[in-house]
Amino acid sequence: MNTQTSALKRVIQTTPRVFLQGVEVSLEPKFQIMKQAVEEESARNGISLDDKQSTIATASILSTNPALLVTTNLILRSRLTKYLKHPSLSLTDAMQPRKVGRKRMFHNEIEETNHVNECSLPRKRRSVVEISRSGEDIRYWSTVQDAAKDLEVSLSSVYTACRKGKLVKGRTLKYAEDCPLDICIHNDSDFGLTALSENKIKLIDCFDVSKLNLMNTENQSKVSIIAFVSGGTYPSDDLNSARGRRRAGGLALHFPQVATNDVLNPKETIRDSMVGHIQKKLLEKFRLSVTKAFGMIMPEQFDGSIVKDGLILLGFPYLRPSRNRCDLYACHGAIKVVLQLLKQTSVEKDMRNMDVDIQICSDSSYSWKLLKNSQQVLRWGSASGIETFEFDGEGPRYLANPDLLFPLAKTMNRIVKSDVVDDLGKRLCLGRNITITFHHSEHVLVDKITGGYINHLSFCAKKTARWQFHKR
């Protein structure tokens, strides 16, 4: 294989989108056009390049901006001719991606087709925390604007302080999402910030949700399961990055009701011991459920999943990762874990007289608008296969990502109808009345929790996408 073929192969591997173009009539001529321009520029600057050097330089430019390979030969020639007339501008700089004429990469038509009377979603906010010298978080603002107003400084001062660590009136400020996050389960509405030991600053987002009583031995008529999910991609979408490059996706799933208390109390009562045993059993079942549901789990040693806290970080297993697709699969991932959890419970426990209420909260408007009508999703899941699945929701079918939406609807349908069997093929009952509802996280947490929790979960998803990208 000669140097030119090898260089072109590397470009194609990093840019699968170029497969839309023919090799002989499109890709090869463009490579030759760019190579000729590189040699002309080098000769003008008094530099002599051999064939291997000019080939490598050409491949480097095309790898930086692979969109050049999907334009026409005429446009590429005219663009090169234009920039070669400016000796002060190098081809490497001139051929960088441009913002002019770039469209939104993921134009959400579903959002545009919403009815006017539909409630509008609040904009994501970046919460700000003031950190004391001892490392404790002593003050909190729900938005940058609130912090700037309270401290009587400009917005840019707060932004700079959070990003670069500069002091503002002698105060150290951080974005709440940059602090490690923990969720505390309470039965009251005492919300606030708490300093934890070992000089680790954790934002305590407290909301009114009880511990998961799925493994309790006493008789009960209802169990509620809640999960918060988020998706992310790496590299992120922006106008400065070339389209068509290889990307990876990541998911963050958090089941706050699973979180356990690691602190042992030597004076614990018999009842406390029983509660601890039930929590330990729940954690074991949850861990097994996650293992059965997924393959690419980000290990804890890579600052990844923390099963004892109910936090699961996963790589996106499908093709064409985008923020919308990752968010949609994150919703499916949550109900896959719930399905496995209910299956294990039903093997040991009679669920016939128990109602199961499942709440999935996503920070994605795209996912929420697709899934908010539970009856519609169940109807989609009743189709025999994706070939007979007829999407009749808002927006066109291709934006609904049917390759992800239909499996989600199918899993949801199986849970609600208890259409599952054990290892011996015996039909299991997952509950008497089972409901699955999808919410937008900012609807559920509004006026109770700051945006810090939502932002941190999104940060975890992006971190997982980065891990998945470098893992290959």
pLDDT digits (tens, 9 = 90+) for 371-397: 999 999 999 999 998 888 989 887 788
Asked: is 127-208 a CATH 3.40.190 domain? The reply is no
What is the per-residue pLDDT for 29? 86
- List of residues 6+ apart from 438 with CB closer than 8 A: 331, 360, 361, 362, 367, 368, 371, 372, 374, 377
Looking up tokens 């519609």, which residue turns up? 376
Q: Which residues pair with 312 in a beta bridge?
A: 253
Pairing of strands 434-440, 355-362: parallel
- List of residues 6+ apart from 153 with CB closer than 8 A: 168, 169
What is the per-residue pLDDT for 395? 78
Q: Virtual CA dihedral for 161, 167, 172, 175, nearest 10 degrees?
A: 0
What is the per-residue pLDDT for 213? 80
What is the per-residue pLDDT for 413? 95
Q: 137: part of which helix (H) or strand (E)?
A: strand 137-141
Average pLDDT for the chain:
76
**448 phi, psi to nearest 5 deg:** -115, -40
- Give, to the nearest 10 degrees, the angle between helix 270-293 and helix 323-348: 130
Largest CA distance in the chain: 87
Task: Please give the share of the chain, as a percent, with pLDDT higher than 70.
Answer: 73
Dist. CA 346–CA 427, nearest whole Å: 10
What is the per-residue pLDDT for 135? 55
Domain regions of the chain by residue span:
3-94, 127-208, 209-471
**Residue 16 Cα distances to 246, 247, 270, 335, angstroms:** 7, 11, 61, 32
Dist. CA 346–CA 340, nearest whole Å: 10
What is the per-residue pLDDT for 429? 92
Dist. CA 120–CA 319, nearest whole Å: 31
CA end-to-end distance (rounded Å), the chain: 25
What is the per-residue pLDDT for 4? 57
Looking up tokens 């002698």, which residue turns up? 170
Residues of the chain scoring pLDDT < 70: 1-21, 87-88, 98-125, 132-138, 177-209, 217, 237-245, 260-276, 446-452, 472
What is the per-residue pLDDT for 252? 95
